[in-house]
Structure 1
């Protein structure tokens, strides 16, 4: 396995880091029979939360970042870099697993340069949290640490035909009652079955007992802990709940689920499932500027955003406008299985001694990726942040409706034979109209999800907390408030997902002990968008959207999809 760190350019930084670290009497770890446990020097740690620091690794669908927060939730140092998206065929979406890891190492190195330049030491960072994209599937050789194929990312739709086949199997209709997820191209279980059927190297490793499977968090933790030498294969309850292998009640792998997908657990190495905050289970960073710093939390990115918004009480919710759009609604300590097209998932579990908190989730496949489509494929602008400027050139969408079904439609529709379709184009249509229609697509789907959540929970949301790249657009957030007819709240500090990972890491080491300790976290200077159009007008717009959704059905031919999936 290659060395992820090229330290030649920061020798002086590391020398300073080592000098300062050696002067600290006991911010350290005691190694005993291969286990590392944190020995906190209580006298050394300040009671001033501005002088205590937690790092957060955040690996999304298109980029990674490393952010160091003080314990009031303020970012002190950060760095972000993108990694490649690989689209070899229509509907295919892959990533290089080593590029995911390298992007994290790059972010750590660069953010640490800034942190040390501010006069701090690496030993001032008390813990690290990890959050990452969820359903993306990684398969690697447990003995060598080498990936057996590119990671297949969650928006990939090559498994459309396989999903139809699996839906015909006995017991298919019972799966969601156990794991909370319906059969679709979305969860990593279906992707793993496809890899076993179509990739000889993956099947051979499985037959020989060498196959390690995981979502990106497990892959990153495996590498940060030293790869094959570290031998650590772990995940958390939020990520595991996205595989279709975990029982929502027991929080462990379920033999009924594994059997349905044809898996022999004696032939495959599945990550051990841990709470989202855990003092010892996630190991420590091996090598580089953070060598020896404990990793004490792990969450799927949408669960991390829920924590970052401090949505700890049942009935609170958040919507993240990233590559896709993900709305999570806290339902408390018992899972709620949706009857209206939503997913049941684990929201978070902030410690072994705490009960898990569950959520209903609505997932929109295309949000920020729709803006990227306008930029990269259509040449509307050179910087995705310019989408609002283009949208501002027109007063509305001009009657255009863009059903952005690039990967079919997710919750609450679950239409896998839809394709992206634009309705209402005339000679009057301009770029601004298409830009507005692209943003409106995520807002309309959010409205559909909120309606489904109200029916499942019996409660209508009173306000919606938002984050993610598209939430930076005032036009988009005003449109969202108009469509859902409730206020939309945007925090001033937008790195909510990374903040959630940091909060969970802090819970593990006792920086915060109760949810009430975080009541003021990231609350200052919020922007509130209230509806500017009437409920009647909003209803008319939504009715037109619903008509467009119905008209987008049936564009995918199963035979064509099977041909694409086999690469011919």
Structure 2
């Protein structure tokens, strides 16, 4: 095991619903030694719609890291790795050749996809909202990313065009940040972790892979999806042009799962509640049999 120097620091990008934050910790400690937060604007073009500018999210990440590096001065050289935690289900589609978003990010609490839900329900026996629960663990609901992707494929001409040209990429906020930090259109890593993939309505929760039946149901092409990784491995390094160049990015967790870990609910049967933009109860169900193929979370 790699020896951890006493001056070693760990950085965390926390891209939430209302704010983006970058903070730094010492290994084994929970007290932040430096942090900076930037507010994110949410747009509501219609009632029930909720959108954010993906480029604003990325700009906020940069500003937060730059500010913290400035606070730390020479000590910033001791930051050896970064983690990413993020608002879940929020859906971003972008062009892999230009790096430009094809539409605003559709935020997790957006309900415009009610009509998409009706289309999917019409395909299943008895309009059963739990029909796919044994595959993805989720009820049919406008909440999840697959419904947002399908809406964009139908209503955003630029998305249709990019999918036809095979230049479209999808990601939740973690994937958007990772892809850009690791090079963007010049070799950026198109990955997500299981905690975020599990909230798309497209991942098989037994196999931890994108499920062919669900992809077929939504008519979503597999080539737009990121590769699913474990929550703890080295995904890549920060590319030139960003602060903390060449630092490893070695953890991704959806924000609710990250708070479960942060509250040290590491044993089966432990649970926590979060009260912020929403109320979320998460429960540690123990180790999945599928984990050995991906490594420990």
Question: Taking structure 1 as the reference length, what is the TM-score of the superposition?
Answer: 0.50
How many angstroms apart in 1 are the aligned matches of 2:89 and 2:208? 17
Question: Is 1:222–1:232's contact at 8 Å kept on the other side of the alignment?
Answer: yes
Give, in angstroms, the shift of residue 334 of structure 1. Answer: 4.3
Specify the alignment match of 1:307 in structure 2: 261
Specify the alignment match of 2:272 in structure 1: 318
Pair 1:353 & 2:286 matched: no
Counterparts in 2 of 1:171-190, with a 5 A limit?
173-190=130-147
Question: Is 1:83–1:100's contact at 8 Å kept on the other side of the alignment?
Answer: yes
Higher RCO structure (Cα 8 Å, ≥6 apart): 2
Question: Is 1:275–1:351's contact at 8 Å kept on the other side of the alignment?
Answer: no
What secondary structure, in the 3-state scheme, does the structure 2 residue paired with 1:140 have? Answer: strand
Choose the corresponding residue for 2:159, options 202, 207, 218.
Answer: 202
Question: Is 2:230–2:295's contact at 8 Å kept on the other side of the alignment?
Answer: no
Specify the alignment match of 1:394 in structure 2: none
How many angstroms apart in 1 are the aligned matches of 2:295 and 2:17? 32
Specify the alignment match of 2:286 in structure 1: 332
What secondary structure, in the 3-state scheme, does the structure 2 residue paired with 1:68 have? Answer: strand
Larger Rg: 1
How many angstroms apart in 2 are the aligned matches of 1:353 and 1:84? 37
What secondary structure, in the 3-state scheme, does the structure 2 residue paired with 1:112 have? Answer: helix
Unpaired runs of 5+ in structure 2?
A: none
Specify the alignment match of 1:270 in structure 2: 225
What secondary structure, in the 3-state scheme, does the structure 2 residue paired with 1:320 have? Answer: strand
Choose the corresponding residue for 1:283, options 220, 236, 240.
Answer: 236
Question: Is 1:139–1:213's contact at 8 Å kept on the other side of the alignment?
Answer: yes
Question: Is 2:181–2:242's contact at 8 Å kept on the other side of the alignment?
Answer: no
Give, in angstroms, the shift of residue 52 of structure 1. Answer: 2.4
How many angstroms apart in 2 are the aligned matches of 1:239 and 1:353? 16
Choose the corresponding residue for 1:61, options 5, 11, 17.
Answer: 17
Greater percentage in helix: 1
Cα deviations by residue, 1:79-125 (Å, 9 ceiling, x for unpaired) = 00101101111001000000010010010011111111xx51x3211
Pair 1:131 & 2:85 matched: yes
Greater percentage in strand: 2
Choose the corresponding residue for 1:70, options 26, 29, 32.
Answer: 26
Give, in angstroms, the shift of residue 252 of structure 1. Answer: 0.6
Give, in angstroms, the shift of residue 264 of structure 1. Answer: 3.0
Cα deviations by residue, 1:368-403 (Å, 9 ceiling, x for unpaired) = xxxxxxxxxxxxxxxxxxxxxxxxxxxxxxxxxxxx
How many angstroms apart in 1 are the aligned matches of 2:161 and 2:143? 25
Counterparts in 2 of 1:179-258, with a 5 A limit?
179-258=136-215
Give, in angstroms, the shift of residue 351 of structure 1. Answer: 9.6
Specify the alignment match of 1:545 in structure 2: none
Cα deviations by residue, 1:261-313 (Å, 9 ceiling, x for unpaired) = 11232xx321010000003xx21112333111100001111111011111111
Runs of 4+ in 1 over 6 A off after TM superposition: none
What secondary structure, in the 3-state scheme, does the structure 2 residue paired with 1:227 have? Answer: coil
Question: Is 2:20–2:61's contact at 8 Å kept on the other side of the alignment?
Answer: yes
Question: Is 1:278–1:351's contact at 8 Å kept on the other side of the alignment?
Answer: no
How many angstroms apart in 1 are the aligned matches of 2:111 and 2:172? 17
How many angstroms apart in 2 are the aligned matches of 1:209 and 1:311? 41
Give, in angstroms, the shift of residue 352 of structure 1. Answer: 3.8
What secondary structure, in the 3-state scheme, does the structure 2 residue paired with 1:220 have? Answer: helix
What secondary structure, in the 3-state scheme, does the structure 1 residue paired with 2:20 have? Answer: strand
Cα deviations by residue, 1:309-342 (Å, 9 ceiling, x for unpaired) = 111111111111121121101111249xxxxxxx
Question: Taking structure 2 as the reference length, what is the TM-score of the superposition?
Answer: 0.93
Specify the alignment match of 1:102 in structure 2: 59
Choose the corresponding residue for 1:114, options 66, 71, 82.
Answer: 71
